[in-house]
Amino acid sequence: MRMYDVIAKKRNGETLNEEEIRFMIDGYVKGEIPDYQMSAMLMAIYLNGMSDKETAVLTNQVAHSGDMVDLSPIQGIKVDKHSTGGVGDKTTLVVAPIVAACGVKVAKMSGRGLGHTGGTVDKMESIPGMRTTLTEEEFFQVVNATGLSVIGQSGNLAPADKKLYALRDVTATVESIPLIAASIMSKKLAAGSDCILLDVKTGSGAFMKTLEDSITLAEKMVAIGEHAGKKTMALITNMDIPLGSLIGNSLEVIEAAETLKGKGPEDLTEVCLQLASGMLYLAGKGSLDVCRGLAEKTIADGSALERLVAMVEAQGGDSSVIKNTSLFEKAPFKREVIAPKSGYITHMDTERCGIASSMLGAGRVTKESEIDYTAGIALLKKVGQSVVEGEVMAVLYTSREELFTASLEEFLSAVTIGDDKPVAEPLIYARIT
């Protein structure tokens, strides 16, 4: 078989068979197919799409390009979750402890920040001493002892995705529904859980900016998961506005811990309860209503917070900052963002809010950049709220004072103030099963 002919077939809009997809993924991982040929293939896929069957085969090949994690040493049903990425999205740190407190295991591998979006692993590393790299044995031990563990992706999990993702990033082929579906689901299948809850974000802070694309992506991912024998469900959730009030690494851990204490913002609490109910439902804990009740109870009785504390301690972290979030190290510099005029906040370009936080030091400029865990933004006003000229709308935090000017400009350009109160958008748009 020649890669040239496989590229030509996809370029002409034809459907690739299993043998051809296996040939290209195997060859690419082994270095026998060069980047320039794979780039041409990715662009052909981007332009001509892939059938559901092709996407499922691609996902399977990418998943099997590395280790398939065997979670059988962990007793009971294991349920995973995945967010397609957003701003202020600290849901894993709330949802995983809730689910664990209900007796369902969460053995989760998470990612780092990507572009304007934050990553759970970076957030966890803002907790002093917290380890996010564990051996497989330690990972299993922590889950068996505490009900949950969240770590970074192991080195050999879907290595084909690592290579393909890096290539997509520089060939303008990231925003392809079949490629995103295969990228996400390959990692979820390789990670070995029995059930998968997908949080597909939609709106200005998400990869998928339209509801229609988000639904298509969710449907494809659910079909792939079910086809692989995993119970899979997707929620389409609003990312047209940052989730919660705090953006940045330690700031988001603080908000997650406060949410587990029942003191979180309404939007974050609601999305977390819906995600947790979905995970418990997939794990067979009852109807969605029953699962919602179980999830709520773990916040009210403090058992979910106990799970988070137990996981932090088991992974070497200092749990005193979770119990008392005022003990978190604070950014040495803060600057208030003043409303330039009176009116209602009608829109927040959420990608730009994420970029502003990243520019304060919460994200990486290059792969090697050091994160400023204390950096970020506290939103005092969000879409739908009124502001008076001169009022403080938000507070920016950083360890490097010189970063304020550019990030303030970015943040202000993200916020639109108008005369009319906007119609509230739903937090959850759809549930796809």
Residues annotated as catalytic are 82, 161, 168, 183, 187
User: Which residue lies nearer to ligand URA by CB, 163 or 285?
Assistant: 163
Least distance (Å) between residue 91 CB and ligand URA = 15
User: Which residue lies nearer to ligand URA by CB, 48 or 320?
Assistant: 48
Dist. CA 140–CA 58, nearest whole Å: 29
Contact 236, 251 (CB under 8 A): no
Contacts of residue 179, Cβ cutoff 8 Å, sequence gap at least 6? 42, 45, 46, 164, 168, 173
What are the angstrom distances between the C-alpha of 276 and each of 52, 134, 209? 28, 25, 24
Q: What is the CA radius of gyration of the chain?
A: 22
User: Which residue lies nearer to ligand URA by CB, 85 or 192?
Assistant: 85
User: Which residue lies nearer to ligand URA by CB, 84 or 92?
Assistant: 84
User: Which residue lies nearer to ligand URA by CB, 232 or 398?
Assistant: 232
Contacts of residue 234, Cβ cutoff 8 Å, sequence gap at least 6? 197, 198, 199, 200, 218, 219, 221, 222, 431, 432, 433
User: Which residue lies nearer to ligand URA by CB, 85 or 376?
Assistant: 85
Which one of 134-142, 179-187, 240-248, 422-430 is the stretch in contact with ligand URA (CB under 6 A)?
A: 179-187
Which one of 180-188, 244-252, 307-315, 338-346 is the stretch in contact with ligand URA (CB under 6 A)?
A: 180-188
Residues 256-295, interacting with ligand URA (CB under 6 A)? none
What are the angstrom distances between the C-alpha of 358 and each of 205, 247, 339, 404? 13, 9, 21, 11
Tokens standing for 220?
């494809």
| Burial class of 148 by CB neighbour count within 10 A (0 to 12, 13 to 18, 19+) | buried
Which of 180, 247, 295, 337 is in the footprint of ligand URA by CB under 6 A? 180
Strands 246-248 and 376-379, how do they pair? antiparallel
Least distance (Å) between residue 291 CB and ligand URA = 26
Least distance (Å) between residue 250 CB and ligand URA = 24
Strands 428-432 and 231-238, how do they pair? antiparallel
Dist. CA 57–CA 77, nearest whole Å: 26
Which one of 42-50, 72-80, 178-186, 225-233 is the stretch in contact with ligand URA (CB under 6 A)?
A: 178-186
Least distance (Å) between residue 12 CB and ligand URA = 25
User: Which residue lies nearer to ligand URA by CB, 184 or 275?
Assistant: 184
Say which residue the tokens 């937090």 belong to. Answer: 427
Residues in the chain: 433
Short-list 254, 207, 236, 188, CA closest to 87: 207
Least distance (Å) between residue 158 CB and ligand URA = 9
Give the binding-site size for ligand URA (rule: CB under 6 A): 6
* Residue number closest to ligand URA, CB atom: 183
User: Which residue lies nearer to ligand URA by CB, 85 or 264?
Assistant: 85
Which one of 177-185, 234-242, 253-261, 396-404 is the stretch in contact with ligand URA (CB under 6 A)?
A: 177-185
Site string for ligand URA, 78-97 (x = CB under 6 A): ------xx------------
Least distance (Å) between residue 359 CB and ligand URA = 22
Site string for ligand URA, 183-212 (x = CB under 6 A): xx----------------------x-----
Strand partners, 430: 236
Least distance (Å) between residue 177 CB and ligand URA = 10
Least distance (Å) between residue 251 CB and ligand URA = 23
| Burial class of 228 by CB neighbour count within 10 A (0 to 12, 13 to 18, 19+) | middle
Contacts of residue 171, Cβ cutoff 8 Å, sequence gap at least 6? 39, 42, 43
Give contact residues for ligand URA (rule: CB under 6 A): 84-85, 180, 183-184, 207
